Structures are given as structure tokens and as C-alpha cells.
Amino acid sequence: MLARSLLVLSIACLSQVLGTPAVLEDRAAQEQHPTTALYKKFLLFEQYAAAAFCPDNNKPPGGNLLKCGPGICPDVEKAKAKSSTQFQNSLKTDVTGYVAVDQTNKLITVFFRGSESIRNWVADITFVDTDTQLCDGCKAEKGFWESWEEAEKRDGITKAVKVAKDANKGMFLTLLIVEQKHKTNQGADYQIVVGGHSLGAAVATLAAASLRKAGNKLDLYTYGSPRVANEELRKWIEKNSDSSSAKPTPRQSNSNYRITHSDDLVPQLPPKITGLQHIGPEYWIKPSGNNQQVMQKLTEKDVFIFADGQNKSGNSGQKGDKSAHGWYFAHIVACYPQNDKVEFKA
């Protein structure tokens, strides 16, 4: 009996020292970092998200080369990515963005801009969820879902993606016929990537789910996304996330890449009490500096992977601060005319 009591006491003391199993799991996750190849994709798609803030990239109808200010999206501009559809906010919602084709990197990109004012969309969050009909019991925050529905009904995002797929698959196959050395790649499709920053990240998450429901394989890259889905929808998105990439990424269970930065306030909203959850895994940029000098020094070792989107050791374990929200590998909101005020105007 004494031996058993000592064993229980020892286990209890050990738990106090090392932490709970959940905390231990989170600590173990911090030993994992994205591969160099994946980290480079984070940098590229941050530029695509930044490009969505540039007014010339979202004025209808589209058909333009994506352009940003100096140093904001150089890789996008170098690739000569061209929009096929551009859409802007309306009186009802703030949904804005573009569908573009990058023939250099064989990409079809669908990116949504962040909100003009974090104060406005935080004030407008209803804390009410709504049925998405993506699966039984799958619900999303009402405002985010309505934003996606408006973009889909008004601008036909799913149709635009299909048109881009069909057009560029045909072009690719023509090139394959002309250049016989590429015969082994016949039939390959362009990779579809959906993403955005802030409110745009929330809309992108729901857009990706709907596009996947329609049969599209794609990758989702979000930066500073708020909580979007209830538990049923979160599980469905994580399960139904076939990648359009040629090979799965090591240590990545699906093709959702939810990136957070330090103590960014926005991923901590809406509060957990609403029942809304985050998509996993989380890729947490740990350094808290909010300037270009700090961002330029980042490497893949500064990004930590947490498989569970509800973990308490990444962004959710920090005291929320709004200043981190505009910095994701670079000044992601730099192209917007009001600059940082795009998210935090008084």
C-alpha cells in the first residue's frame, strides 16, 4: 500500500514538473519545423495574399498582370501571374480578391483580401453560426459564410476556377505534344491554391471547403485567420483536404496550412466560448518583432508546427496583441492605400 502511494505521489510530482499530456504533446510539437521547400511556399503565398490588398488587383473584371508596390510581391510579378477574375467588396460584405493563373509555377490561385477595418468586422461578428450544408451538422460563423456565398453567387469563383483549369490544362497538353521530352507529365493539372489574410483567410477556408466539395483538389494557405468552423465542419475540412501537390509534405496530415504570428490577436477571435474552432495544423511564427528587419531574419526554424488546431502553446497560448497582425514573413498589408490602418483604423 505504501509502495503504491509513493508511486502515485511520484507520478503527481512528475506531472507538476513536466506538465499534462496535452502540454507535453505541444512541447514535442515545437521540435518540428516546416521543410525548407514548404517554408519557401509560405513566402510565395504570403506575396499572393499581399497582392490581394492592392486595389488594381481586385477591380473587376480582371485580365490584368498582378502588380504590387516595390518589394511587396516580387515573385508574383516575376512569374507574370495574370488574373482571370477580380472582385471587390459590396455594401453587404467586404469580400474582395481575385482568381489568377501563374504559368511559371503552374498555379491557379484564389486569394481573398483582409477586411478594411478589424474594428468593423469584429463589431459585426454575430457569434451566431449558420448551416453550410457541406456535411451534416457543419456550421460556420454566419458573417464569414455570407461573405463566401456572396463572392460565389456574384462572381462565380467555382466556375472561374473550372474555366482556368480547363484552359490551362489544354495549354499544358499542347506544350507536351510539341515538346516530346515532357511526355511523362501528360495530363498533369495546374496546382490550385486558395488563401488570404485575416478576414480573407476566413473566407478562403470556407471557399476551399466548398471547392473541395465540388471535386477540386487544392492547397489552403491562410495567414492570421480567425476561428471559422464548428467542430463538425472543422473535422470535415481536415478530413476532406486532398492536395493538388504532387507529393504530400512531410509531417503534414492534410493540405491545410494555417499560419499564425506570435501573439496576433485575430486568430484568437471569435473567442472559444462561441464553439468555433481552428483548422489544424497550425504553423506558428514565434518571433514577435513587427518590422521588416525582424521578418527578413526569419528561417524555417522560427516556425513551429502544432498538429492540433486547438493547441494552447502556439498563438492561442499568447496574450493577444493587434500589432503582430500586419506582419507575416513581410508587411502583408503594405499594398493597401491605408497601410496598417487596413486592419486597425481608429
Looking at the annotation, which residues are catalytic? 198, 264, 325
Q: Residues 6 or more apart from 247 whose CB is under 8 A from it?
A: none
CA dihedral defined by 313, 319, 322, 328, rounded to 10 degrees?
A: -20
